[in-house]
């Protein structure tokens, strides 16, 4: 039994969050634990109240949405139910980037907001903001979903994640103490995976013995395959949460076998936080409908339950920079079924979206494309990027230059990629007006046309 966990859960974490200025985290966590069991009618009423308040705020305090309402010939009073939201146009990533200043609410100072960025699953850099209250809510909903796995706040966890070397706070004593004694999580760098790094993962997990592992789907799969091939057993956690990449059924089976724990898949986006997650019944992904409004749109109209559509999200709680009908760039399906768990949060499933291929070095090390999106996000001059690997020794870097583009942006990107892939790899550069789309109409950020430890299993037969 972990006797320290209740101390971290009930005393240390709330105290540290309060000291950091996140005064509403505990309240949001309790609220989300309550609202997940609202009746469907009460949940829709809650969404409508949040939506109407957000729309009034956006109209009063953002230049962008005042224009959108006026061009639509309506005011916020015209939105009387959730379906009325379709009277407003969607917000594309391109519109967000081009209108960033006009999207920030004028009753917030920029220094009050958290500036963030993402490279996205398609390689387009994007900057955005959120207010502190939304930060508390995001953490609250994430912890609620984490606890669906059987893990409890205060218990140990480990993240098999990418881009650790670029996260400055990881080197600070304060961050390390917070991680070890308050949040009680450790990070394993999945930016590049080979037998040596994965042996270190196994040794660390044997010492730390986390109750929960959170990982990129592809990284968790490769690690589990390695454990099975080497006959290595690690202390089984209560659960494994997979995210960032589309989880394939055969990958789920291998992860559960290799790590000895059930897999809980998750879907989120840095711009809006947690979108949907599996519960203990594994009947689909529960949408965080008490903080988001999620639509599936097919040919400009609402997709029927079971019909594929583009995912459109309204963040109901971010007042610092409202994001209303935001097109994430992924596709999914809404379900009209109710989950046996008793939660009223609606169900969805992901479709072909955000499959981030790995690149592979001449020595066979797998390099995570998810890491490279972080590199791109740090260089706004790189409007859109695509990596194409035609052999282990060569990668083509395609770039759509943005208005602020400079050759130093491309030099920086190539250096980062060279650091990951090591000696023996050459790079070609190509400046283009647009990235070619794949057969499904999606611009794939990373295209690996050589065999890898992932591609060899894409046609794995059912168990």
264-291 average pLDDT score: 96
What CA–CA distances, in Å, run from 1 to 4, 151, 402?
A: 9, 13, 54
pLDDT value, residue 177 = 82
Q: Say yes or no to pLDDT of 120 above 80.
A: no
**Residue 91 DSSP code:** B
190-218 average pLDDT score: 92
Q: Say yes or no to pLDDT of 439 above 90.
A: no
What CA–CA distances, in Å, run from 187 to 135, 156, 180, 439?
A: 21, 11, 10, 36
According to DSSP, the residues that pair with 400 across neighbouring strands are 384
Task: Provide the token pair at 253.
Answer: 């089976």
According to DSSP, the residues that pair with 332 across neighbouring strands are 309, 350
CB proximity list for 60: less than 8 A, separation 6 or greater: none
Task: Provide the token pair at 381.
Answer: 């001059």
Q: Which element (helix H / strand E) includes 350? A: strand 347-350
Query: Confidence class of residue 369 from pLDDT cuts 50, 70 and 90?
Result: low
Give the distance from CA 58 to its chain's centroid: 25
Say if strands 185-189 and 157-161 run parallel, antiparallel, or are unpaired.
Answer: parallel
Q: Say yes or no to pLDDT of 32 above 60.
A: yes
pLDDT value, residue 365 = 81
User: 55 with 314: CB under 8 angstroms?
Assistant: no
Unique residue bearing structure tokens 């202390």: 235
Give the distance from CA 21 to its chain's centroid: 24
What CA–CA distances, in Å, run from 279 to 144, 239, 285, 324, 343?
A: 10, 11, 7, 27, 9
Query: Confidence class of residue 458 from pLDDT cuts 50, 70 and 90?
Result: very low
Residue of higher predicted confidence among 454 and 99 = 99
Q: Say yes or no to pLDDT of 204 above 50.
A: yes
**Can you tell me the distance from the alpha carbon of 213 to that of 159, in angstroms, rounded to the nearest whole number?**
6
Which of 44-58, 171-185, 300-314 tops mean pLDDT?
44-58
Q: Say yes or no to pLDDT of 248 above 70.
A: yes
pLDDT value, residue 440 = 43
Q: Say yes or no to pLDDT of 143 above 70.
A: yes
pLDDT value, residue 371 = 66
Q: Say yes or no to pLDDT of 167 above 50.
A: no
Percent of the chain with pLDDT over 90: 59
pLDDT value, residue 101 = 95
Unique residue bearing structure tokens 């790079």: 427
**Can you tell me the distance from the alpha carbon of 197 to that of 193, in angstroms, rounded to the nearest whole number?**
6
Q: Say yes or no to pLDDT of 18 above 90.
A: no
On average, the pLDDT of the chain sits at: 88
Unique residue bearing structure tokens 């291998």: 254
23-41 average pLDDT score: 95
391-404 average pLDDT score: 90
CA nearest 365: which of 227, 190, 217, 230? 190
Task: Provide the token pair at 177.
Answer: 């103490």
pLDDT value, residue 189 = 85
159-170 average pLDDT score: 61
65-85 average pLDDT score: 97
**Can you tell me the distance from the alpha carbon of 17 to that of 182, in angstroms, rounded to the nearest whole number?**
10
Domains detected in the chain: 358-457 (3.30.300.30)
According to DSSP, the residues that pair with 309 across neighbouring strands are 332
63-80 average pLDDT score: 97
**Can you tell me the distance from the alpha carbon of 123 to that of 265, in angstroms, rounded to the nearest whole number?**
23
* CA atoms within 13 Å, Cβ hemisphere of 172: 8
Give the distance from CA 430 to its chain's centroid: 29
The three-class DSSP label of residue 181 is helix
**Residue 342 DSSP code:** -
Q: Say yes or no to pLDDT of 122 above 60.
A: no
Residue of higher predicted confidence among 457 and 166 = 457
**Can you tell me the distance from the alpha carbon of 310 to that of 91, in angstroms, rounded to the nearest whole number?**
13
CB proximity list for 391: less than 8 A, separation 6 or greater: 450
**Can you tell me the distance from the alpha carbon of 354 to that of 351, in angstroms, rounded to the nearest whole number?**
9
φ and ψ at 446, to 5 degrees?
-130, 120
**What b/e readout covers 171-196, taking b as 16+ CB neighbours within 10 angstroms?**
eeeeeeebbeebbbbbbbbbbbbeee
pLDDT value, residue 113 = 95
Q: Say yes or no to pLDDT of 129 above 50.
A: yes
Residue of higher predicted confidence among 180 and 312 = 312
47-62 average pLDDT score: 98
User: 396 with 445: CB under 8 angstroms?
Assistant: no
Query: Confidence class of residue 193 from pLDDT cuts 50, 70 and 90?
Result: confident
According to DSSP, the residues that pair with 128 across neighbouring strands are 116
User: 219 with 190: CB under 8 angstroms?
Assistant: yes
Query: Confidence class of residue 73 from pLDDT cuts 50, 70 and 90?
Result: very high
**Can you tell me the distance from the alpha carbon of 285 to that of 14, in angstroms, rounded to the nearest whole number?**
28
The three-class DSSP label of residue 226 is helix
pLDDT value, residue 59 = 98
pLDDT value, residue 359 = 84
**Can you tell me the distance from the alpha carbon of 298 to that of 291, in angstroms, rounded to the nearest whole number?**
23
Q: Which element (helix H / strand E) includes 296? A: strand 292-298
Task: Provide the token pair at 115.
Answer: 């500036």
Query: Confidence class of residue 462 from pLDDT cuts 50, 70 and 90?
Result: very low
According to DSSP, the residues that pair with 214 across neighbouring strands are 159, 241
Angle at which helix 132-147 crosses helix 25-35, to 10 degrees, equals 50
Angle at which helix 63-72 crosses helix 40-61, to 10 degrees, equals 110
pLDDT value, residue 351 = 75
């Amino acid at each position: 039994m972990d006797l320290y966990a209740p101390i971290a859960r009930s005393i240390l974490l709330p105290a540290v969050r309060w000291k950091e200025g996140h005064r509403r985290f505990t309240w949001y966590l309790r609220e989300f634990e309550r609202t997940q069991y609202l009746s469907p009618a009460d949940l829709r009423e809650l969404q409508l109240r949040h939506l109407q308040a957000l729309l009034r705020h956006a109209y009063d305090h953002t230049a962008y949405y005042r224009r959108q309402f006026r061009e639509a010939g309506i005011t916020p009073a015209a939105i009387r139910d959730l379906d009325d939201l379709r009277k407003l146009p969607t917000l594309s990533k391109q519109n967000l980037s081009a209108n960033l200043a006009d999207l920030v609410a004028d009753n917030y100072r920029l220094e009050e907001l958290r500036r963030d960025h993402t490279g996205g699953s398609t390689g387009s850099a994007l900057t955005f903001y959120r207010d502190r209250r939304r930060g508390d809510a995001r953490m609250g909903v994430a912890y609620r979903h984490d606890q669906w796995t059987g893990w409890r706040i205060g218990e140990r966890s480990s993240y098999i994640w990418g881009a650790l070397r670029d996260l400055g706070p990881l080197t600070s004593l304060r961050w390390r103490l917070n991680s070890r004694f308050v949040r009680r999580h450790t990070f394993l760098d999945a930016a590049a995976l080979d037998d040596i790094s994965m042996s270190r993962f196994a040794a660390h997990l044997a010492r730390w013995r986390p109750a929960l592992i959170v990982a990129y789907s592809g990284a968790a799969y490769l690690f589990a395959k390695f454990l099975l091939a080497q006959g290595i057993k690690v202390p089984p956690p209560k659960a494994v949460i997979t995210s960032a990449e589309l989880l394939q059924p055969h990958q789920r089976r291998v992860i559960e076998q290799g790590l000895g724990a059930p897999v809980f898949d998750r879907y989120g986006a840095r711009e809006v936080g947690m979108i949907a997650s599996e519960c203990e019944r594994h009947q689909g992904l529960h949408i965080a409908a008490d903080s988001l409004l999620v639509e599936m749109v097919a040919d400009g109209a609402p997709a029927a339950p079971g019909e594929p559509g583009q995912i459109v999200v309204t963040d109901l709680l971010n007042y610092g920079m409202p994001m209303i009908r935001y097109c994430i760039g992924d596709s999914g399906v809404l379900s009209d079924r109710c989950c046996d768990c008793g939660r009223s949060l609606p169900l969805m499933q992901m479709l072909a979206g955000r499959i981030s291929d790995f690149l592979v070095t001449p020595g066979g090390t797998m390099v995570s494309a998810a890491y490279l999106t972080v590199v791109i996000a740090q260089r706004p001059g790189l409007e859109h990027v695509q990596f194409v690997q035609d052999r282990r020794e060569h990668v083509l870097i395609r770039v759509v230059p943005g208005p602020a583009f400079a050759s130093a942006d491309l030099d920086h990107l190539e250096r980062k990629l060279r650091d990951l892939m090591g000696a023996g790899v050459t790079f070609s550069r190509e400046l283009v007006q647009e990235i070619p789309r794949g057969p499904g109409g999606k611009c794939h950020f990373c295209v690996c046309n050589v065999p890898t430890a992932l591609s060899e299993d894409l046609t794995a037969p059912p168990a």
